[in-house]
Amino acid sequence: MCELCNDSGNCIECSNGLVVNEEGTCEESTIPKCAIKSNMDGHKCDVCNPFYSLTPDKSACVSCVQPNLNSGCRECVVDSNKVVSKCLNCIGNMRLDNGQCVFDNCLDYIGTSASLKLETAQCDICADGFGLDSQSHTCHQCDPEGVDNWDLCTDCSFDITGVNNDCTACVVTDTPANDKTLTVSEGEYPFHQCKFPEIENCD
């Protein structure tokens, strides 16, 4: 079944695993995960589905979800032995760095798996100093430049508009006696701040 046609009425994108043939119609592919079959040779593929890439001889589409690559790779380099060496293109909110997809300021995320192919990565755990925006699943800096009261905050929360409004964790050092702790602020942002605990009867 055709999903998308050009101005001439020829199909350029098929659904349900079918591929576009040289006549501009949809048919079953002899190559799994092939999106557009070769016009020159019906046993070869020109374009693979997202998250798959062609072998040099165009005879197979190989998955870019591999143990040696970070999750989030949409297109990769495949050799004649069907071995994937590096990534060429990442999903939406990730960037390519030395052949690997990187999700800035995120320690743990969902990108792609054998059964789940996302167009944008979803962060689960942010790096220190960054808080998780639950709406966008991205990490934002807890200590906005030029804003007071965010010193030593290592994790934070956001309101529904994506603005950070509260500190949820403070820096922990090897000397606990010198560590500041979360303290309720009085009418200021963030609602909690990292301060030394108050000592009773001490001015």
pLDDT of 46 over the 70 cut:
yes
| pLDDT, tens only, 174-201 | 776 666 676 777 666 667 777 766 656 5
Question: Which strands, in side-by-side order, build the sheet including 45-48?
Answer: 26-28, 18-20, 34-37, 45-48
Split at pLDDT 50, 70, 90, the class of 57 is: very high
- Report DSSP letters for 89-118, one per residue: EE-TT-EEETTEEE-TTEEEEEEE-SS-EE
| pLDDT, tens only, 136-145 | 888 888 876 6
pLDDT of 165 over the 90 cut:
no
198 or 40, which is more confident? 40
pTM for the model? 0.66
| pLDDT, tens only, 103-138 | 999 999 887 665 667 788 889 899 988 888 878 888
User: What gap in Å lies between CA 13 and CA 175, rounded to an integer?
Assistant: 62
Q: What is the mean pLDDT of residues 149-162?
A: 77
User: What gap in Å lies between CA 31 and CA 9, rounded to an integer?
Assistant: 25
Give the CA diameter of the chain.
Answer: 87
Least Cα distance to 119 among 33, 51, 183 occurs for 51
| pLDDT, tens only, 11-30 | 888 876 677 877 888 877 77
- What does the pLDDT read at residue 144? 66
Split at pLDDT 50, 70, 90, the class of 152 is: confident
User: What gap in Å lies between CA 142 and CA 106, rounded to an integer?
Assistant: 13
Mean pLDDT, the chain, whole residue set? 82
